[in-house]
Structure 1
Amino acid sequence: MEIVLIRHGQPTVDKNVKLSATQFANWLDEYNNSSIVQANKPPTSLTEKISSHFVISSDLPRAINSAKVCVGKKPDLIIKHLKEMPIPHWSLPLITNAYAWIIINGLMWAIGLHGQVDSLWCCRKRGKLAARTLSSMAEQKQNIAVFGHVIMNYYIALQLVRQGWRANFTGKKFWSSLTLTRQ
């Protein structure tokens, strides 16, 4: 059995744009509704590896679109709890780029300041649920490819390794994958 956790392709939203806290909140909405840059293609080796896998995706457009680009079809199944960990947005008196806002707000979220979004504890629980779901799905389908997001993929992989799956990680860039196998 094999589960391949794949990070989506590059989103169409610019991470280098300078933003105030209010603008960052709007940027987050754009990011969560963004597709992927069409010129950013997946590696041929990935496309070939998962060509016959059962395809699953988170419900965010960038993951769904990545599945379409990579395997040439819509996902066979879309699972809501595969979406990325939420990024809170705090009204701080800063103007900085979107990537810096992600880091600042992500660190605040990690130490427990989650504001209007799910806490880290809730998201870890969602990762456990996703891992159980994917493990069951792999028992039925044998080989599955999952288009998701970097942090959630990490939490899912941790849970799968705890369940006895073996992992082979290729990085955390766009189109990177984490292959988990079990006899």
Structure 2
Amino acid sequence: MSALETTAKPCGQIILARHGEPALSRKVMLNASGYGEFWARYEIGGLLPGQTPPDRLRRFVADCGTLVTSTRLRAIQSAQTVLGDKPFDRYELLIEAPLPPPRFPVWVRLSPKIWGFVARVWWWYLNFHDGQESRAEAEVRADEAAELLVGFAANGQTVVVIAHGFFNHLIGRSLRRQGWKLAESEGYKYWSMRRFERG
């Protein structure tokens, strides 16, 4: 039994969970312009039907004091899959960091997975943001999100966030700088969770 399974009690934890699998096939090859259009569809799209959230996530949600999501449909639908009709708050602050593709020649065609990796490297290390949110701006936003979550957890309750893989990573970095420790990680796959405790 993992630590995630044995500590599902309100104790000032912050759980950063990634949304479920989106209903957008990645089995395509795209040039830079095509990937830009793909990402735009990804950002507004919902979940692939028929998914079942992991039992551990269900248990954390059942025991948490606060559950919040980003305002993206895939995060909202993920929370609804766990909660049903119960209300929860949604924050623009928690949306994913952008992935503008570098301006490669039109004949360069890559899969969305490879484009995502390349775009993130260009955005992170080369500050290529194509007029969208920059790395520095996203890091400031992640600090603000971390402060919001720490505030929710201040009374000792467990806070569950259902949002996005990379921006959850940025929030986690901010939490660690504030003295929180990563107690358990399932990585960054769909429905995965990373649990933080006060240091």
The two structures share one fold, judged by TM-score above 0.5: yes
The residue that corresponds to 2:9 in the other structure is none
1:133 equivalent to 2:144? Answer no
For each residue in 1:27-80, what CA deviation from the matched residue of structure 2 results, as whole angstroms up to 9, or x when unmatched?
Answer: 111100111112232111211222132210011111111111122246511111
The residue that corresponds to 1:13 in the other structure is 24
Give % identity. 28
Contact 2:60–2:160 (CA under 8 A) maintained in structure 1: no
Classify the secondary structure of the residue corresponding to 1:95: coil
1:154 equivalent to 2:169? Answer yes
The residue that corresponds to 2:193 in the other structure is 177
Structure 1 stretches of 4+ with a deviation exceeding 4 A read none
Classify the secondary structure of the residue corresponding to 1:178: strand
Normalising by structure 1, we get a TM-score of 0.92
The residue that corresponds to 1:100 in the other structure is 114
Contact 2:15–2:194 (CA under 8 A) maintained in structure 1: yes
Distance 1:64 1:141, change over 3 A: farther
Contact 1:55–1:75 (CA under 8 A) maintained in structure 2: no
The residue that corresponds to 1:51 in the other structure is 62
Distance 1:75 1:7, change over 3 A: farther
Q: What residue ranges of structure 2 are gaps of 5+ in the alignment? A: 1-11
The residue that corresponds to 2:6 in the other structure is none
What is the identity, as a one-letter code, of the residue corresponding to 1:139? A
Contact 2:69–2:94 (CA under 8 A) maintained in structure 1: yes
Q: Distance in 1 between matches of 2:175 and 2:103?
A: 37
The residue that corresponds to 1:32 in the other structure is 43
Q: Distance in 2 between matches of 1:127 and 1:106?
A: 16
What is the identity, as a one-letter code, of the residue corresponding to 1:128? D
Contact 1:8–1:62 (CA under 8 A) maintained in structure 2: yes
Q: Distance in 1 between matches of 2:109 and 2:153?
A: 45
Normalising by structure 2, we get a TM-score of 0.85
For each residue in 1:118-175, what CA deviation from the matched residue of structure 2 results, as whole angstroms up to 9, or x when unmatched?
Answer: 1111111111110011101222572211001111111111211222222221211111
Q: What residue ranges of structure 1 are gaps of 5+ in the alignment? A: none
Q: Distance in 1 between matches of 2:121 and 2:62?
A: 37
Aligned pairs, number? 183
